[in-house]
Structure 1
Amino acid sequence: MKDFYKIIAKNNGKVTIQDLSGYKMIGKGADGSIFQLTPETCVKVYVNEDNQKKELNALQIGQSSSVIPRLYEYGSNYIVMEFVNGGNLKAYLKKEKQLPESIVKKILFMLDELKKIGFARLDTEVRHIFFNEREEIKVIDHKRALYTVRSVPTKMFTGLKKLGYLEEFLAHVKRINPSLYEEWKNLKIE
């Protein structure tokens, strides 16, 4: 982590992907790249500083919830946050070949938490839902959380359907929360 602080100081508070070549890249997307700094922390370096501001705002608002990664520090084009040591829901389903009710309960808890926080977007992709080594649920990638209104987790449903688990998920929801099941059962998912 000391090396990371030297990079920030050298670059007047900014970070480039090239500066982080000595760190393990753990993710890359349209918004930026994520590098593991320590066993507990990672840094996301953004292509667009406006996207950094949007995600930072959501992370700051979400710090009261256990489903949002801890925020440690930030600069104009980066955010240092909790490294979730575990796998995502997509990888879990491919490996385990089942969707236990205990996992569905955690997903429903996560959706309730996003609503309590005040996020407008109560949706996420299955690849953004993580379980750490203690099987605690965390959700990442919050740039649209406050700016896109989506009260039904359609992206998650679409991902579950592609993986062949939407019907099983909804069957669990029917047992756990019948009223929520009634709200979701007739949605058209592609």
Structure 2
Amino acid sequence: MSPHKKTKRRIAFSSLADYPVVGSGKDGKVYRLSQDKCIKVYYDETTQQQELEALELGQVSSIVPILYESGHNYTVMEYIHAISLSKYIKEYNRLPSALVERILLLFDEMKAIGFTRWDAEVRHILITDETELKVIDLKRSLTSTKSIPTKLFQGLRKLGALPLFLRRVQTLRPDLYKEWVRYQ
């Protein structure tokens, strides 16, 4: 994969008024630029730099969106055609063992990439049409040290899916279950 284009530009939110907002949070807004690209514009450049570092490190893996361009307060990356894990659980009211296994492999991959935080919120784990998992909002992946997926647990608890998730982990990865069960 070729390195992304780095610029010294800053993007004004107002310059993206004609593009649909596909995500918004405390760190910034995400706009869809095309069928396969989006731009995240950050409120704070420090947050942009933290996430950019994680995105750059993650370019070796298919779980991280492809990075195309970055500037002082933005990143242009792959638009993921997917449903979040939270929406999946709400819509289908299920958490199949195969999906739990892919979530565990996602965390293994985060560790292999070199991330120090092996956790993600249920809304930041995306399930593609090909049932691959992607992870977004990586700003704390290198600044936080967390081997217990407490954010995932919190989201699954709110959805009523944590007990089922842990039962599946117990079957699939008893080693992780023994480590994680005390944090439920």
TM-score normalised by length of structure 1:
0.91
Q: CA RMSD in A?
A: 1.2
Structure 1 unaligned regions, length at least 5 = 1-8
Are 1:28 and 2:46 counterparts?
no
Task: Show the 5 A alignment for 1:133-144.
Answer: 133-144=129-140
Tell me the residue number matched to 1:106: 102
Give the 4+ runs in structure 1 shifted more than 4 A.
none
Task: Show the 5 A alignment for 1:43-122.
Answer: 43-122=39-118
Q: Distance in 1 between matches of 2:154 and 2:127?
A: 20
Q: Deviation of residue 85 (structure 1)? A: 0.6
Q: Distance in 1 between matches of 2:27 and 2:117?
A: 18
Q: Distance in 1 between matches of 2:38 and 2:133?
A: 17
- Kindly indicate whether structure 1 or structure 2 has the higher relative contact order, using CA contacts under 8 Å at least 6 residues apart: 2
Tell me the residue number matched to 2:12: 16
Tell me the residue number matched to 1:183: 179
Q: Deviation of residue 65 (structure 1)? A: 1.1
Q: Distance in 2 between matches of 1:151 and 1:171?
A: 19
Q: Deviation of residue 185 (structure 1)? A: 1.6
3-state secondary structure, aligned to 1:185: helix
3-state secondary structure, aligned to 1:119: coil
Q: Distance in 1 between matches of 2:21 and 2:130?
A: 23
Query: Which amino acid is 1:53 matched to?
Result: Q
3-state secondary structure, aligned to 1:63: helix
Query: Which amino acid is 1:118 matched to?
Result: G
Which deviations, in whole Å up to 9, do the C-alpha atoms of 1:136-163 show, x marking residues without a partner?
1000001111011111100101110110
Q: Deviation of residue 123 (structure 1)? A: 1.1
Tell me the residue number matched to 1:151: 147
Structure 2 unaligned regions, length at least 5 = 1-6
Q: 2:122 aligns with which of 122, 126, 134?
A: 126
3-state secondary structure, aligned to 1:130: strand
Tell me the residue number matched to 2:4: none
Q: Distance in 2 between matches of 1:56 and 1:109?
A: 23
Which deviations, in whole Å up to 9, do the C-alpha atoms of 1:76-112 show, x marking residues without a partner?
1100011111110000000000100111011001100
User: Percent identity among equivalent residues?
Assistant: 44
Q: Distance in 1 between matches of 2:119 and 2:49?
A: 20
Query: Which amino acid is 1:75 matched to?
Result: G
Q: Distance in 2 between matches of 1:113 and 1:73?
A: 24
Which deviations, in whole Å up to 9, do the C-alpha atoms of 1:112-154 show, x marking residues without a partner?
0110111111111101000112111000001111011111100
Larger Rg: 1
Q: Distance in 2 between matches of 1:106 and 1:43?
A: 27
Q: Deviation of residue 29 (structure 1)? A: 0.6
Q: Deviation of residue 171 (structure 1)? A: 0.9
Q: Deviation of residue 21 (structure 1)? A: 0.7
